[in-house]
Amino acid sequence: MNNNIMMYKSRLTYKEIEPVLQDLSAIKYSIIKGEALSVAAYNATGMRTSSDVDILVSRKNLRIIEKKLSDIGFEKQYSDDIVTQRTNRAFMLSHSHQTTPFYIQKSIFKLSVDLNFDIFWGEYTGKRVDVDDFLSDTTEIEIYGYKVKVLPPLKAMVQLILHHYKDMNSIFLLATRNSIKFDMFKDIYYLLKNNINCISLDDLYDIGLEYDIMPYIYYVLYYTGLLFKDKLLDEYISAFKTSDGESLINCYGLNKFERHEWKYDLKTRLETKNIYELIKNDLTDNDKKKIQINKEVFG
């Protein structure tokens, strides 16, 4: 799908969900990734390869947005079996950071909205961040002429780093799609470069300590630094370097029980057409079982 088509699809999605966004003044939410990140990192829409809309909202407010999306015609892709529906939802709420996507068919396009209720992944065992608190200082911008709430740059960086760490380490994602891409690191680099006053080293360091995510910040910045040579980036990487962060660098897996050591460098991971071929010989029976369960739930 070329960039013009993706932009048109994205614009169409915002047009469809405008009534929902207008009706969410009573709750805290933020558009994340997608066009919100495109504006923050590149100062324009359509600069990223994303055609759906991601909304971050606290778990307690999920039902509110789900109902509003349903009221304007969006549907979830459910199993026909009601027991399976309930089981899958329970699995997502306890083992993931998002629910089943919402879809609506418009002409030749299937428009998608993802509801995220956590900035961490399901396997995360550390200190959680209260999502409503995380959303306490959103700002309002226009995307394709529609007013939406977005995260300030510092928190957008935190959300992006945690999202990229998940994509780079999820065994399910690595096994089922090429979830390590150059554009991930490009987004990190330009979000930092174009918002340096809002994402100062001190501010990022302080929030990293507050949320206890220093190793993950180092991990993502380290790999970004391999691709973008910049003294400013080097300064950030050096500041966030910890033994815990270093111990993650050559590994993948979202918890210590499924962690494996990479046998291939970043260049190989980026260039391969099938990451699964790089990791399949490392996977345990438990890893394979987890992949299968996730396939059944997430598709």
Residue range 225-279, pLDDT digits in tens: 999 999 999 999 999 999 999 999 999 999 999 999 999 999 999 999 999 999 9
pLDDT 10s digits, 16-48: 999 999 998 889 999 999 999 999 999 999 898
Q: What pLDDT does 98 receive?
A: 81
What is the C-alpha R_g of the chain? 19
Higher pLDDT, 84 or 66: 66
Instruction: List the one residue out of 57, 47, 45, 60 whose CA is nearest residue 21.
Output: 57
103: confidence class by pLDDT, cuts 50, 70, 90: very high
DSSP 3-state of 29? strand
SS3 breakdown of the chain: % helix, strand, coil, rounded to 5? 55, 15, 35
Confidence band of 5 (pLDDT split at 50, 70, 90): confident
State the pLDDT at residue 93: 54
Q: Residue 83's pLDDT is what? A: 42
Would you tell me how many other CB atoms lie within 10 Å of the CB of residue 125? 9
Q: Cβ distance 101 to 113 under 8 Å?
A: yes
CA-CA distance, 113 to 74, in Å (whole number)? 9
Between these two residues, 206 and 125, which has the higher pLDDT value?
Answer: 206
Average pLDDT, the chain: 91
Q: Phi, psi (5° rounding) for residue 142?
A: -105, 130
The pTM score is 0.93
- C-alpha distances (whole Å) from 182 to each of 53, 123, 172, 265, 278 are 21, 25, 19, 14, 17
Count of residues making up the chain = 299
